[in-house]
A = this chain, B = another copy of it.
Amino acid sequence: MKTRTKIDLYDTTLRDGAQSPGISFTTEDKLRIIAALDGFGVSYIEAGNPGSNPKDIELFEKAAILNLKNSKLCAFCSTCHAGTNAYKDESLLKTVNAKTDIVTIFGKSWLLHVEKIIKTTAEENLRIIFDSIKFLRDNDKTVFFDAEHFFDGYCDNPEYAVKVLETAKDAGASVLILCDTNGGKMPDEIGRIVHDVGAGFSRPQEKINANHGRDVLFGQHQKRDILFGQHQGREDPAPTGKPMSDIKIGIHCHDDNGLAVAGTLAAVKNGAVQVQGTINGLGERCGNTNLCVVLPNLQLKLNYDCVPEENLKNLTSFARYIAEISNIAFDENTPYIGGHAFTHKAGMHIDAVNKLPSSFEHISPELIGNVRNTLVSEIAGRAALMNKMRRHMPNITKDSQELKDALNLIKSYENNGYQFENAEGSLSLLLLKSINQRKIFFSVETFKLVLSEPGVNSHKPSASVKVKVDGIDEITAAEGNGPVDALDKALKKALATFYPKLKDMKLIDYKVRVLNSNAATAAKVRVLIESSDSDNHVWRTIGVSTDIIEASWNALLDSVEYKLSLDEGLTGV
């Protein structure tokens, strides 16, 4: 078997992915995503744009102390403006000061954009690309160059598009990334152009433009000579400049035609060695190339080397974890990692799969951490669960009855919409319960919550809660900024009479996910709560119900019980 070619995964979830409608990451979200990407083993993480977003400067400072093991951070920026000097450009100066060794800079490679959008000359565009990269190189940055709209530019004017690449290379860029920014190119077109660029020649226009001109795609309004570019046509492949075989080529696709993964694979087969994309395909419009789909295609199907082999098994849980932080509903139809990807419905298929899985599965789901026909949960995997339980039962084995009982208990919760991947606090309590070591610290006797005429300040939601500890009742009430806040305050106020340390406990995050959107407000909701105490312990708990108040309440009860269990050494974070 020949040596496997290394392909670098370059993740831009935090930059291009943040352009998805509805996505908005906090700095805390971003740091958790960076840590997860590093743990999973992507080569590069494009974390933000310090030149245009002051919060990203802070992000790079905080990220610098994460001590990443597998990934390198990249700052993203634009070239300086036409008619200005790179060394005076405020954004470039901020980028240089951000704590990253690598800067990814984008520039125009399509004359249409040069002339109609940034409104400058072809020569000046080359000048600002050269000067901006040179400035970054002079400041000891490794530079990746994103050639924006490269494929559209190349089809319009191959000489100019290639000249842009040569300029970036001459200025000191290490990788040239060819971008299908509008996401409309066909995979075979992308493959052919990546090949041609590597070889140093261009093809005649007629072939590049396939059968259809851009005038068809945009109606009759636009000038054919600009958009169709036939005046650039030549008969045969002809040299356009130096071959690009001595510099690394990257690929960056968007999914506007549903072909981002195919286009990316075509580029890799033709020599690209850096693959840009996002986790779960987040991104502007229809999204970027989904790294979670392209990765198993590259590594399992086409035998490239992208991440350490053992990490592939974490792909499914990793993708779900990022979806959770992104607060998006995970698409269960996603190839490879979706909950439906190995779910068989037709009776004939199920029969056949029972005889021989490969009869209706293109790969073994275990290879990427997915499962056949049952609820997806990393934690429900026997081995992972055994590790968790070993804390309480050092001699537990694969065949222990306790392990089976715990698995069954977790499965029954999962069938009701619970998911413990991001709620290890609730999971710990459930494990304690399954081995009869859960301690009853308190019981709730009654609670009542009243809301009226919201928006009027004097009518804040109020909650009354009655708890019992060691036979002693305590009833109290509290107002809050919202119903969950009122319940949280009343519960802790009542319990603090018995457990004063609860006063130090803080809720630091609260997330809600609707499980079955079609049922709208009658759908089940999943609430995740993150809590901390004065010893800097952090834990997460979960509640599920059709009633958002009930779901929140259950997550609140778990968070308090976990804190009390922790203080008694029953569990550890």
Contacts and interface: CB of A to CB of B under 8 A. Distances in A.
Interface in A181-197: 181-188
Interface string A458-480: 00010000000000000000001
B352 A286 contact: no
Question: What copy number does this chain have within its complex?
Answer: 2
Contact of A345 (B2, B21, B286): B21
Interface stretch (A56-64, A79-87, A198-206, A506-514): A506-514
Contacts of A247: none
Interface stretch (A132-140, A210-218, A236-244): A210-218
Contact of A343 (B2, B21, B261): B21
Given A219-B364, A517-B26, A483 B453 contact: no
A100 interface: no
A488 interface: yes
A182 B365 CA distance: 13
A218 B300 CA distance: 10
A287 interface: yes
A548 B512 CA distance: 10
Given A262-B262, A290-B258, A360-B181, A212 B352 contact: no
Nearest to A281: B333
B301 A545 contact: no
A342 interface: yes
B453 A525 contact: no
A359 interface: yes
A173 B284 CA distance: 46
B511 A511 contact: no
Given A216-B300, A547-B483, A285 B113 contact: no
Nearest to A340: B21
A59 to B, nearest CB: 16
Contacts of A24: 419, 513
Given A485-B522, A522-B480, A184 B218 contact: no
Which of A2, A186, A352, A521 has its CB near the most chain B CB atoms (within 10 A)? A521
A171 interface: no
B227 A358 contact: yes
A514 to B, nearest CB: 5
B553 A454 contact: yes
A342 B256 CA distance: 9
Nearest to A22: B422
A359 B485 contact: no
Interface in A205-253: 210-212, 214, 216-219, 222, 227
A362 B454 contact: no
Given A184-B363, A362-B256, A419-B24, A210 B509 contact: no
A506 B450 CA distance: 27
A153 to B, nearest CB: 12
Given A117-B351, A184-B363, A286-B333, 19 more contacts: A20-B345, A22-B421, A22-B528, A116-B355, A184-B362, A256-B361, A287-B333, A451-B547, A454-B549, A461-B549, A482-B525, A482-B545, A482-B547, A484-B548, A485-B522, A510-B525, A511-B514, A521-B529, A521-B552
Interface of A: 1-2, 19-22, 24, 26, 28, 112-113, 116-117, 181-188, 210-212, 214, 216-219, 222, 227, 255-259, 261-262, 265-266, 269, 281, 284-287, 290, 293-294, 296-297, 300-303, 327-329, 331-336, 338, 340-346, 349, 351-352, 355-364, 366-367, 375, 419, 421-422, 446-455, 461, 480-485, 487-488, 506-514, 517-518, 520-523, 525, 528-531, 545-550, 552-553, 556
